[in-house]
Amino acid sequence: MSIFVKYVIGNWKLNPKTPAESLALAQGLQALGAGKVKVGCTPSFVHLAGVTDVLKTSDVWVGVQDVSAFGATGAFTGDVSAVQVTELGAKFTLIGHSERRQYHGESDKTLAQKMINAHLANLVVVFCVGESLDEYQSGLAFNVLDKQLSVLHQIDKSQINADKLIIAYEPVWAIGTGLTPTLDEIKKTHAHIKHYLSTQCHADLPVLYGGSVNDKNASDIASCQGVDGVLVGGASLKIESFAPIVSAFSQLS
Known catalytic residues are: 97, 170
- Binding flag, residue 60, ligand PGA (CB under 6 A): no
Count of residues in contact with ligand PGA, rule CB under 6 A: 13
- Binding flag, residue 126, ligand PGA (CB under 6 A): no
Measured from the CB atom, the residue of 83 and 233 that comes closer to ligand PGA is: 233
Instruction: Out of 231, 245, 246, 248, point to the residue binding ligand PGA (CB under 6 A).
Output: 231
DSSP 92: E
DSSP 59: S
CA atoms within 13 A on the CB side of 34: 4
SS3 15: coil
Instruction: Out of 33, 40, 43, 233, point to the residue binding ligand PGA (CB under 6 A).
Output: 233
Name the burial class of residue 102, with classes exposed (0-12), middle (13-18) and buried (19+) by CB atoms within 10 angstroms of its CB: exposed
Side chain identity at residue 39, one-letter code? V
- Binding flag, residue 232, ligand PGA (CB under 6 A): yes
**How many C-beta neighbours within 10 Å does residue 74 have?**
10
Measured from the CB atom, the residue of 229 and 234 that comes closer to ligand PGA is: 234
Query: Considering only residues 192-221, where is the footprint of ligand PGA by CB under 6 A?
Result: 210-213
Pairing of strands 37-42, 6-11: parallel
Instruction: Out of 6, 11, 42, 205, point to the residue binding ligand PGA (CB under 6 A).
Output: 11
Residue 231 near residue 11 (C-beta atoms within 8 A)? yes
- Binding flag, residue 37, ligand PGA (CB under 6 A): no
DSSP 220: H
- Binding flag, residue 118, ligand PGA (CB under 6 A): no
Binding-site ranges for ligand PGA (CB under 6 A):
11, 170, 175-176, 210-213, 231-235
